[in-house]
C-alpha cells in the first residue's frame, strides 16, 4: 500500500479474516449462595456482551440523510483515508466506471458491482465503455501482475482541494483468473467501494474488510450503505 499524492491501495488474498455437603443446612446455604453469585454473573455477562462484542452496525438509510454528528461505523482507522466526490446538494452523486480496457468477465463484474453500490440512496454508479467528458470517472483496467505480487486489486484516487476528481482501479488477473466468480466479484465490489469513498471495515466477514476470498459475500452489508450516507450527507 503506497501513500502518494494520489492514494494507492492494494488488496490481498487471504491465504489461510468449601465443598458442598448435601443434606445439611450449611451445604444448602452454600449452594444457594454460589447459585446466586453465578446467576448474577450470568446476568451481567448477558447485559455487557452485546455492548462490547461484535462489529458496530447500522441499518441502511432510505434517504441520503443521517443524524447530526453521525460518524462512520466499524471502520479501520489504520487504513489510508479516502476522499469523497463532490456531491450536488439534493442530488444523487453520479460516478462512471469505464470498462473499455477489460475482458468480458471483468467488464460484466464491474457492471454488476456498480449496480450493487447503486442501492445507496446517495449515488448512482454506472459502468460504461467510455466515460463522458466532464463526468466523475474511474477507469478500470486489468493487468497480469507477475513477480509474485500477492495483490488482486488496487484503487488509486486523484484528489484536489479535499474532493475526489478521478481514479483508476487495477484488477490483477494473475490471481483473479484463478478465483471463483464469487471471489472475483467480491474484489471488484471492494475496489468500487474504495473509489466511492469507503475505507476498510474491521468486520472480518465484510466485503470491505482488507481480506477477501472465494467465500466472501460480495453484497455489502447495511453498515456500508449507512457509512456512504454519513460521507455524502452534507448536513451530517
Q: Encode pLDDT of 178-191 as tens digits.
A: 999 999 999 999 99
CATH number at 104 reads 3.40.390.10
pLDDT digits (tens, 9 = 90+) for 131-146: 999 999 999 999 997 6
Specify the number of domains making up the chain: 1
Report the b/e string of 39-59 with b at 16+ CB within 10 A.
eeeeeeeeeeeeeeeeeeebe
Specify if 206 maps to a domain: yes
pLDDT digits (tens, 9 = 90+) for 43-84: 333 333 344 445 688 999 999 999 999 999 999 999 999 999
* pLDDT at residue 198 tops 50: yes
Is the CB of residue 77 less than 8 Å from the CB of residue 202?
no
Q: How far does CA 62 lie from the centroid of its chain?
A: 19
Specify if 6 maps to a domain: no
Query: What value does the mean pLDDT take over residues 1-27?
Result: 36
**Mean pLDDT score of the chain:** 82
99: number of Cβ within 10 Å: 24
Specify if 196 maps to a domain: yes
pLDDT at site 99: 99
* pLDDT at residue 31 tops 50: no
Q: How far does CA 107 lie from the centroid of its chain?
A: 21
In the block, which residue shows the cell 450493487? 116
Strands 123-128, 151-160: pairing is unpaired
Q: What does pTM read for this prediction?
A: 0.79
Domain of residue 94 covers 55-232
| Cell numbers given for 90 | 439534493
Per the model's pLDDT, the better-predicted residue between 194 and 14 turns out to be: 194
Amino acid at each position: 500500500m503506497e501513500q502518494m499524492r494520489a492514494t494507492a491501495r492494494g488488496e490481498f488474498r487471504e491465504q489461510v479474516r468449601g465443598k458442598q455437603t448435601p443434606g445439611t443446612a450449611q451445604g444448602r446455604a452454600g449452594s444457594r449462595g454460589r447459585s446466586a453469585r453465578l446467576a448474577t454473573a450470568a446476568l451481567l455477562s448477558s447485559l455487557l456482551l452485546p455492548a462490547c462484542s461484535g462489529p458496530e452496525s447500522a441499518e441502511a438509510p432510505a434517504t441520503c440523510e443521517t443524524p447530526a454528528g453521525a460518524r462512520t461505523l466499524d471502520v479501520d482507522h489504520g487504513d489510508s483515508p479516502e476522499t469523497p466526490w463532490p456531491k450536488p446538494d439534493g442530488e444523487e452523486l453520479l460516478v462512471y466506471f469505464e470498462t473499455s480496457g477489460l475482458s468480458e468477465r471483468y467488464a460484466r463484474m464491474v457492471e454488476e458491482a456498480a449496480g450493487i453500490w447503486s442501492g445507496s440512496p446517495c449515488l448512482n454508479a454506472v459502468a460504461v465503455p467510455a466515460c463522458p467528458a466532464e463526468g466523475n470517472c474511474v477507469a478500470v483496467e486489468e493487468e497480469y501482475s507477475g513477480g509474485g505480487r500477492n495483490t488482486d486489486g488496487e484503487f488509486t484516487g486523484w484528489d484536489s482541494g479535499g474532493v475526489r476528481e478521478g481514479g483508476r482501479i487495477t484488477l490483477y488477473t494473475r490471481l483473479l483468473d484463478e478465483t471463483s466468480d464469487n471471489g472475483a466479484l467480491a474484489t471488484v465490489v471492494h475496489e468500487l467501494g474504495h473509489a466511492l469513498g469507503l475505507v476498510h471495515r474491521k468486520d472480518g466477514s465484510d466485503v470491505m474488510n482488507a481480506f477477501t476470498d472465494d467465500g466472501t459475500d460480495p453484497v455489502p452489508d447495511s453498515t456500508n450503505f449507512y457509512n456512504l450516507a454519513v460521507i455524502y450527507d452534507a448536513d451530517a
